[in-house]
Structure 1
């Protein structure tokens, strides 16, 4: 297996672990979402804005993995093509 493919697999696993941990933390402690959004993102989002369902979990997991994989793929591509 080449290094780029291995990097993408590790990225997907790491993103899935972090996303799942965050999703569970917000599900168990709903106040964390409001505190995070207010302080880090400067946004006011009501607690009733998004339901916690299996569908939203899977959709978010797919979206975040795709975004992260595209970013890491671009980094690896640029790393290989730009010579110092």
Structure 2
């Protein structure tokens, strides 16, 4: 299972990196700059998720320590909080 998750995260990382390479870097275009910022944040979160996977803490809520719901991780595998903590 962890190798499947890592492979999926690796594909997401590669896809976001490729997406980032295609985005304009002009600070004048505020929409493109905001999009670029969002892609950078997701890329950083995906890389952090891969580090948590290697450390054995992937899927553990960073706030309360319970396990994040599998459906939540399927939707966004880089998340660090369970639903209860995200809503709280």
Task: Compute the TM-score of the two structures, normalised by the length of structure 2.
Answer: 0.36
Q: Which structure has the larger Rg over C-alpha atoms?
A: 1
Give the structure, 1 or 2, with the largest relative contact order (CA under 8 Å, sep 6 or more).
1
